[in-house]
Structure 1
Amino acid sequence: MKSNKARRVLAILLCTASLLMLYAAAVSAQKVSGLLVAGDSISSGRGLDDRAGKRYGSLLAAKLGLSGGKNINVAEDDMTSTDLLEKLPGYEAGIKAADLMVISVGTYDIMSIILPALDPAGGGIDYPKLLEMVRDADYVRRVEEAADQNALINAAVKYSFNLGEIITLIRQANPGIRIVFLSLYNPFDGPRQLSELKVAFDPY
């Protein structure tokens, strides 16, 4: 949805904020000997020109003095909480080897429902184009009406359930691991032009 430039800016800002939060927690905790990062594009580093080197997991690992097999990132673009739950058994070895796991997931649970409403023709919509289109009040109204409200509510409920299951499975594999979930964010937060969409979808 966003242009490459906008993606880079957003990813860098989110990565920086995430790193500061995680580093503050890490310095007051016991020494970390293994890090596992999982989840969606916030963790995978989509939009960065050097994903492997610049995504927040790599920056955090460097701060913690971790390298090689002690720093594992299994995040994937657009991963939902259901995707993560299904893939967790495949991460078991990494979970057992880590004592800190950082997860970003949930935003695409909702965005996968909203995106078809933003771009009903399916031709693709970049960030500058979206900012222009939301100037049309009818377009904003159509987006709000087209987004399946029941599906959004069900997705939010499903996310809450999945979160509990994810934590349970991780704890079963490694009872002593510390788990950090990054805060969910509203992708319409920021530009004034998107304020109506932000308000419309904030509850989810």
Structure 2
Amino acid sequence: MIRFHKEGYKIISITFIIAIAIILGAEKIFHTTLAIKITQVLTLGFVVLILQFFRNPNRKTTLNDAHIIAPVDGKVVVIEEVEEPEFFKDKRIQVSIFMSPINVHVTRYAMSGTIAYSKYHPGKYLVAWHPKASTENERTTVVIQNETFGNILYRQIAGALAKRIVNYAKEGEMVTQGTDAGFIKFGSRVDLFLPIGTKIHVKLGDKVKGGVQVIAEK
């Protein structure tokens, strides 16, 4: 059975209402069978796109404090050593995953631990793969503390189409690897900042599966 994320309930409901109105009204607006059918097919296609965007597949996570799992579905677009300026202010390994509009957009906790930092930053809407998107776009930054692995930071980044980031992480709460951490609506990216020396199990261009795939380990 297909599940949908709670962040999509309102949009899905509105989409259905509009779609029904268009489909029923097409016969009154257009005067040819072809125009009516094209309008109805395009409307149904749009409904399907909205439904697939907000799908929330059930993922079974194998908990392991030595593993980092993919926080989202998407394509690995960055693996490099960088300076992380917001929280750690030192060198980290950055792994970035880009989500297209057809990917599942649920954000999941990459590891278990305690939320040490959670902050929202307003910003621009550059395309998500832009080098400056990580520091200039609308984004949220979250740090998870884990005694086994160490501290990691992840950043939800809005893209050119993403106009709302939903972040459930609250400072001081305990979170469990693989559980729902939020949602980014309509195209976006997630950056992970991991300790130097972390073993990375993915390479550039790999497509990863959020909540289940191990992308790094201590």
Q: TM-score range by the shorter chain?
A: under 0.3
TM-score, normalised relative to structure 2: 0.23
TM-score, normalised relative to structure 1: 0.24
Q: Greater CA radius of gyration, 1 or 2?
A: 2
Greater helix content: 1
